[in-house]
Structure 1
Amino acid sequence: MSNDRRRRRSEKTHEAVYYQLDHVRQKHGLGFLVLANDEGVFVAGAGEKDRDEVFAAYAAEMAQADSAYRQKLEAELHEYLFGPDADTVVDVRSFKIDDMPMYLCAAGAASSSSDDALEHTINGVQRIFRTT
């Protein structure tokens, strides 16, 4: 896996972000890992292309919603992405790149390492935007 990451590098920001997202998605068994801006516009993603943009559209609203509304949005998104009976979790984390709010959206099997995976991804994406 380490050698694969070394081969999959790019000086192009959009490619480097995709490689970062795809690496974490595969390593942690996530169905989707999507980066969105504060308006819910898709920036980058690893997962099913036709659903990534829908996931991104929910991101900003979910991150800013109160608990009850967020649960409603998560349930809607969960059903759209996986169906009503799937044993998966939807999560959105907010962070900034050059003072611009961004959202990292993840969906997949619940795992004890998912918090670490999302933090690792955020750090990687921030590093990529600083260095490319």
Structure 2
Amino acid sequence: MKNLKVNPSNSLKTSRLVIRIFASLITLFYLIAFVPKLIQMLLGDAPERPPGADWEGSMVTVSFLIFILGYIVTWWRGLVGGIIIAIGSILMFLTHMMSASGEFEFLPFFVFSGPMLLCGILYLVFWWKKP
């Protein structure tokens, strides 16, 4: 029976491809959630306050833009992009922690900050394991 050898380089390339697909799906989800509200605001049809109308909305918008910037940077520089994504995630997490309601809401963290943080950490891990 032959010993099966796993080429760590191929495994690492596959892992990087998986994280890029995951990050692309997360980014697509954020764009689908964020852009229609922005268009409604620009057209004047927004039923609620537009993103950025208060400090919390402004911070969420900034966090979103930081995530998008980090996602773009990761295509060239994994370490820098991963750090930028992690910073955006932490900023969004802190925004939810300091929200006007005064209590931690798990759902916004789970939907937005969690996947962002996971993407950032995975980019950092795969950069660290770079051959």
Report the TM-score when normalising by structure 2.
0.33
More strand by share: 1
More helix by share: 2
Report the TM-score when normalising by structure 1.
0.33
Rg larger for: 2
